[in-house]
Amino acid sequence: MSNPPVADFIAREARFGARNYEPLGVVLSRGEGVFVWDTQGNRYLDCLSAYSALNQGHCHPKILAAMVEQAGRLTLTSRAFHNDQLAPFYEEIAELTGSHKVLPMNSGAEAVESAIKSVRKWGYEVKGVPDGQAEIIVCANNFHGRTLGVVGFSTDPATRGHFGPFAPGFRIIPFGDAAALEEAITPNTVAFLVEPIQGEAGVIVPPAGYFTGVRELCTTHEVMLILDEIQTGLGRTGKLLAEQHEGIEADVTLLGKALSGGFYPVSAVLSNNEVLGTLKPGQHGSTFGGNPLACAVARAALRVLVEEGMIENAAVQGERFLEGLRSIRANTVRDVRGRGLMLAVELHPEAGPARRYCEALQVEGILAKDTHEHTIRIAPPLVITSDQVDWALERFATTLTRDFP
């Protein structure tokens, strides 16, 4: 029996679904490792990895086995009761990341909101900021999620337009500018919330030494450094955490996406004792946060990431991919940048929108994502091989050098 035509799936989505996405014209039905297949049987190399949620590849068999086993035993208790997966998850992720305390949540945006609440509470109860006056510094062109609290300090008009009024308490500075951070800090500043690499903005890598300076400033002024590693963490940049590239430690680290290997919404706030230590029973929570199914899946996702050498592979293949992209001689390309397997090709404006290059890449068997009109984001699963990188580079070369009508 043949599958319905692609146009039928797309038309039904358009009829019944909210139009808050504009996906490429492909309908996927299966995935394995670095590849996905559409309903017509065509195979594609996934160069988005669900925004780094699939670092371990599609349908990793060991994560799948852990999920199936736990789903047959116990899926949800709420935090009204203990479960036998939460404590091992706490211990394993804390030991892996060097954290003192863990707060489990579901989505990345929930982790961000939880961190904001926690550092404000720390600011009032530990630092001594007057009640209601806590300030958090963020960066222009940030992306920390889609909740109302988060979009209130976005600088992207599409993200925040007509969603106000917004909550006060945030100051926006340029990304990669330590002097701007120092100038923005006041006695009421409780935290600096920042991405180690700005992914949605187009994979913007800060200048070398930036985070070393940021860490020093935050320590000097008793400001909590919150690193949003929801996309950059768990091996994506060739290190377990992106902060390790400059040898620093955040006060609060946010993880999500690859924390479940793409099987289940799992996120976590990791912190020193001071920040999460201010939370008392009843002051914050989540029905699904820390549920046994999530914990079992996350434990398996972390285990395969380390045991199968995915982090080291990301460093090696990322360098190969980056060098290969930079070797492509195309008048369309303005810049190639990235770290590990978090890469981007920025096109000259006269080359036209990046969307059409992503559509052309789809024809070549590669799925990538455009952002900010002229940038192609590239983030394959960390299990990609050298041969697969070389195969992809041939198709990027063909696409970036082609003439569009």
Active site positions, annotated: 143, 228, 257
3-class secondary-structure state, position 53:
coil
Task: Report residue 207 as tokens.
Answer: 């200048």
Please give the angle made by the CA atoms of 102, 304 and 28, to the nearest 5 degrees: 100
Report residue 131 CA to chain centroid gap. Answer: 32
Dist. CA 285–CA 21, nearest whole Å? 30
Residue 156 burial (CB < 10 Å; 0-12/13-18/19+)? Answer: middle
Dist. CA 293–CA 286, nearest whole Å? 14
For residue 261, give the nearest of 42, 124, 57 by alpha carbon.
57
Residues 6+ positions from 224 with CB-CB distance below 8 Å: 119, 122, 190, 191, 192, 218, 251, 252, 275
Please give the span between the terminal C-alpha atoms of the chain, in angstroms, as a whole number: 38
For residue 369, give the nearest of 378, 380, 360 by alpha carbon.
378
Residues 6+ positions from 328 with CB-CB distance below 8 Å: 393, 396, 397, 400, 401
- CA dist 119 to 107, 113, 135, 299, Å? 19, 10, 10, 27
Residue 32 DSSP one-character state: E
- CA dist 209 to 177, 341, 401, Å? 11, 21, 35
Q: Are 240 and 227 in contact (CB under 8 A)?
A: no
